[in-house]
Structure 1
């Protein structure tokens, strides 16, 4: 009986100690909630078919000037960045429905677009250029495009220039700039009208069967697009852009992708 009593007593002691341990563990967990980074989220989008501004590299990763730019701005302003790839002609609808907070996608600031969205301060100066096959000596510029078939990316200022240069029925629209350029390479289009830096980068990547002709058209400025009702986002984007220009980060990103100092 003494042995049994001692065994029971020992068991009760162990049980009591276990309950105390559980109680202590519960209090300790209550003092250590899941960590919170405290960062606000910035949902940004781009059409990742527009090298060198935004595209997919050989490993499937989204890269480009605009992605580095918006990442630097987000870091500067204390945002956690989330990126989405959306077709260019779907960007403004996505902004208007607040599906995204901003778009850094080589979008030219125009009066028409400014009615639908707000734009940041300009961050890049560009213009349109005509691209033709290397052996084509008939097309020397935009004035030679009347009646010609022109491939473009839908919703771009290049598409607007093409519609002015030839019969609209002769304009072939694609969701991506790379598709338009491939249409030219395949011989199904006489020319492409596209942003100069995109065309220059395309040739630099080994596409020597096409060339640039004529002068750069329609001096343009790119801005980061923001929904009309997200005024704080716009203010933060502008503040972040200003800071990275002042601290040299913007120049670093620019030289990485274009191999030269930023143009004033």
Structure 2
């Protein structure tokens, strides 16, 4: 009797694995030879994996995903497509294992006062914010912010909405293309839908080279602030949710902006 190990048909999960692997390799702009060398295999074997003529081991799936810097969530998808169980979990915020990480995030956000700091995921859903960020968001969006399907604040939708942040953003022709690049594949959708940079997705693709440090210049009701940001990630996260998060800290780009933020903190 034929078994799953010696019989191949259109439903073989490794066929799907080959499609996904080739898609990730092309998205990263890596040749078969370069990927094979990085993963410690041969170009011939990699070619067989992509076409479904060979089946990957669990070790090989992990090695290829690591060489391609595939996000943890998508590494699980690659493993499943090859018939293996997931390697990474997404713990709940209440999980005791996350207590130390939660404390670290709280420490970073608190120490950023009186300047804004936020925690976002890779889709730019707002996960946490310090008091300074809450003040700034309340000032710029007094009627509230759009929400995602999970109930979190959808910063991407607000940023590219011409009636959202766009109406207060003085240098939107510089900032929005940069934001779109950071968002990745979903950027053209948001840019076109929100009318980013007067030309939508087309202008995002044709954007001029960015300056060394891009500032966020906002002005509302006579209050002007110029900010630049730094981005912090967790080192070697093994949890899907933690792998997705970014801590973005905003700093005043000049003395006048610093004075405004300090004044806002004093109420």
Please state which band the TM-score falls in when normalised by the shorter chain. Answer: under 0.3
Structure with higher RCO (Cα < 8 A, 6+ apart): 1
What's the TM-score, normalizing by structure 1? 0.26
Higher strand share: 1
TM-score (norm 2): 0.26
